[in-house]
A and B are shown apart, each in its own frame.
Chain A
């Protein structure tokens, strides 16, 4: 047993114990895929900095602590849900307590024809074969132990199915609340979004913490877009300063499908976002935007991996980071253009603003191009606030802190400006403004 595997023994044992109680236990295909994932977990262990894809992110704080996989039944205070909602957002909403669906806190009235939204556990109970066959189909190879762990525990999460040709006119919000079972628990939600041909929807996936405690959420979302489907997917991490979050978004796009994803990380001790997109057929379009704020001792790692498997697809990546204090962020943008994916058009851009001398960014583009007629551009910048601009604002009567805040917000603004849902956009702007309060953007004494 490798050292990596040793750090998962407790999780493997917990899975063995919990498995019989997981939804649709006894469904052969699902039992087999859970067992296979458990096997991968044992073999892979949790990643360490020896893994190329985790080179700049230490998981020691996670592996050192023993987290207990949460079980269904922990209550989530209703007041917390109402405090946490986004003003003015008219959405269907699913609320999850430590990964488990809370129907009584959810808003799913008057779902139109062609729109199925439910807890994954419930659907697994009623249609085990059909749902089990969908699970894992956007995943491909298991990239690391956290994903294997999530797959081994598949039990609850959100299931969204949009029928072909259906245009959903309200966004669907998935609110994941960690900490309902208390400190030291691990939640493992699994989400599945299936977009029928020509369908259209907007989904918001938010991860919040009930309290500032040592908590781990390990979440996986699979997005399957059939031909001409269009999905707007916004994921937001508002993790407590002591909380850990590892999230994966795995998308597969059919012919001329469109995915517009935005990942906004506001806070958390350690947040790792994996975004893997497969452009499987001609004319696909994937845009991945990101904004990450890393203050205090926060560590935020965005790992994107876009694969052009077919010709004439477009991918756009635009990630921005604001780092202060001893914040550390990682951006790793991998783009693979497979043989035959001619006329690929890909642009990747990562810009970082460092507000303190102790903040640190590791940014790494990785282009692997196996086709010859392609357009791939990438760029990364790391900079400080423009002192000339700071002085310009000060010369208009604005004090230094306020000037720095204005410029920092302006830097972050273009990512948020591109979010199409106005209520979400203003909410995130306000959240970001709060995070960029004077003490956050203070200058380090160096």
Chain B
């Protein structure tokens, strides 16, 4: 699904990712953990195609194509989805309008007909239910005045609408209370399938109790310094990152 090799990224001349390797197979869920400022969001943004990041080395291949050569909207239409760490408020653009444009752009890209109003509404209602969201959310401006938790839930609702092949969820668990966390996790789990991969960026083991990952990686110093199964997250929770960074078995990130 996704193969990242020796990825090096700089921001304003400062190297943030430094030879990062990561491979995510179809249907797999990978968690990426790591200290603040280690480059997790940078990785997520580079995958989604955000401007302001200079890729100075390495490659990213998605479903066999060179992802980095595609414009952000093309990546989205090909099936890349980023749930933002800080979802953007867009006053004056109704949620439902964004969704309709987004869904139809992707459908057109795939050579499918645009959804008519009835089918669209049916789809929307089904996904709202999945995330236990009220219909009135549709008619509010995108994220405007949403609580932190509502914003995160809205991201996963958008994911459900867009049915991506690869979803990168950047700290979607931050700011959620226990109930909301469960709803969001259930929403993600309901979308797990053999042809959909998920990268979860998180600081908390708690999320991984609900969305059980196939692999857990630690990002530090610009590369993956440690990978393991779900037990790695438990060890990190108990011992902190200092343990990984000082562990001799850790690849040095110079």
Instruction: Mark interface residues in A383-418 (1 if CB within 8 Å of B CB, else 0).
Output: 000111101111111111011001101110110000
- Closest CB-CB distance, A429 to chain B, in whole Å? 12
- On whether the beta carbons of A396 and B162 are closer than 8 Å, the reply is yes
List 5 other contacts, CB 8 Å, given A391-B72, A392-B84, A409-B92.
A392-B87, A395-B72, A395-B73, A400-B73, A410-B141
Between A and B, 26 residue pairs with Cβ closer than 8 Å are A387-B51, A388-B88, A389-B90, A392-B84, A393-B102, A394-B49, A395-B48, A395-B50, A395-B72, A395-B73, A397-B73, A397-B77, A397-B105, A397-B106, A397-B109, A397-B162, A398-B101, A398-B105, A399-B73, A400-B71, A402-B101, A403-B73, A406-B93, A406-B98, A410-B90, A414-B91
CA distance A396 to B106 in the complex (A): 9
* CA gap between A392 and B48 in the complex, in Å: 10
Residues of B near A409 (CB, < 8 A) are 92
Alpha-carbon separation in the docked complex, A293 to B216 (Å): 52
B interface residue numbers (CB < 8 A to A): 48-51, 71-73, 75-77, 81-82, 84, 87-88, 90-93, 97-98, 101-102, 105-106, 109, 141-142, 158, 162
Q: Given A397-B109, A411-B92, A414-B92, A391 and B101 touching (CB < 8 A)? A: no
Which residue of the partner chain, among B49, B51, B76, contacts A396 with CB atoms under 8 Å?
B76
What size tier do the contact residues of chain A reach?
20 to 34
A366-388 to B contact mask, C-beta < 8 Å, 1/0: 00000000000000000000111
CB distance from A249 to the nearest CB of B (A): 27
Residue in B closest to A399 when the chains form the complex, CB atoms: B73
Chain A residue numbers with a CB within 8 Å of B87 are 392
Q: Which residue of A lies closest to B104 (CB)?
A: A397
**CB of A409, distance to nearest CB on chain B (Å):** 7
Check A398 against B84 for contact (C-beta < 8 Å). no
Chain B proximity of A435: nearest CB distance (Å): 16
| Complex: chain B residue closest to A410, CB-CB | B92
- CB-CB under 8 A from A407, the residues of chain B are 90, 92-93
Do residues A394 and B71 form an inter-chain contact, with CB atoms below 8 A? yes
Cβ-closest 4 pairs across A and B? A410-B92, A397-B76, A396-B102, A392-B88
A349 to chain B, nearest CB (A): 14
Determine the residue in chain A with the shortest Cβ distance to B161: A396
Question: How far is B92's CA from A411's CA once the two chains are assembled, in angstroms?
Answer: 7
Flag if B51 contacts A391 (CB, 8 Å): yes
Pick the contact of B158 from A391, A396, A399, A402 — CB < 8 Å?
A396
Docked pose: A413 CA to B71 CA in angstroms = 28
Contact B73 A394 (CB under 8 A): yes
Chain B CB within 10 A, most for which of A386, A391, A396, A406:
A396
Residue in B closest to A402 when the chains form the complex, CB atoms: B101
Residues of B within 8 A of A397 (CB): 73, 76-77, 101-102, 105-106, 109, 162
Nearest residue (CB) in A for B101 is A398
Residues in B with CB closer than 8 Å to A403 are 73
Contact A394 B92, beta carbon cutoff 8 Å: no
A136 to chain B, nearest CB (A): 41
Q: Is the CB of A398 within 8 A of B90?
A: no
Q: Which of A395, A397, A414 has the most chain B CB atoms inside 10 A of its CB?
A: A397
